[in-house]
Each structure stands twice: as structure tokens, then as C-alpha cells.
Amino acid sequence: SVCAGGAPSLSYQQLKDLKKTHVLHIDVRERWEIDRFGKIPESINIPLGELVEALQMDPTEFKEQYNQKMPSKSDPVVFSCLAGTRSKQALGFATSLGFS
């Protein structure tokens, strides 16, 4: 399941529908997990340990590092992980940095 702001849990189908509305999907699993279990289409991988730093990067640096436009604090963002624990932590980090 996937963790999102107003909805603690989303199905994969709900996530696919959300992606049609240009939501940024950040997968906070470790890189080895992506290699082993596969990448979710159209997501960007920012391991949880890098997330706070990544969300405070200069937008140019973010684009170079993650090959994606950096989200603004008001852009819709969805976090995912394997079981939901790290995505909830990621949501907490993003909220504490001023993301709505």
C-alpha cells in the first residue's frame, strides 16, 4: 500500500489514477530493493535516508541527481515503500519541511 497525505493508504490502481493528475511519486526504498523487486513505473527513487537532504536541495542539483523537476512545497507528492512504514516517515519529513 502507498501512503499519501489525506489518504493513509492507496491501492496501486488509485496511484495509477493519481499519476494521471501529474502527482510526483517518490519511492523511498533502498536502491538494492529497487534492483531486487523492481521499479514502480514513473516513480523516482530517493532512499529514505537521503530524503530530507534531497527535499532541501537547490532545484538544479535535484534535477541533476534525480533526473526530475524538484517538487515545490505545494506540488502533490506521493511516497511509497515496501510496507508503508518508511512512506509514513517520509510524509512526516516532508511535512516538517513545509510541504503541504
* pLDDT tens, position by position, 24-70: 899 999 999 999 999 988 899 999 999 999 999 999 999 999 999 99
The domain spans of the chain are: 12-97
| More confident site: 98 or 100 | 98
> In the predicted model, is pLDDT for residue 18 greater than 80?
no
List, for residues 61-91, the tens digit of each pLDDT value: 999 999 999 999 998 888 999 888 999 999 9
| pLDDT score recorded for residue 48 | 97
Q: List, edge to edge, every strand of the sheet that includes 77-80.
A: 44-45, 24-27, 77-80
Concerning whether 81 is annotated as a catalytic residue, the answer is: yes
Could you tell me which residues are beta bridge partners of residue 80?
A: 27
Exactly one of 48, 81, 90, 94 is catalytic; name it: 81
The reported pLDDT for the residue numbered 64 is 96
Angle subtended at Cα 26 by Cα 62 and Cα 45, rounded to the nearest 5 degrees:
70
Q: In the structure, what pLDDT confidence band is assigned to residue 2 with cuts at 50, 70 and 90?
A: very low
Architecture of domain 12-97: 3-Layer(aba) Sandwich (3.40)
Pairing of strands 44-45, 24-27: parallel
Mean pLDDT of 8-18: 71
CA distances from 3 to 9, 40, 51, 91 (A): 5, 14, 15, 8
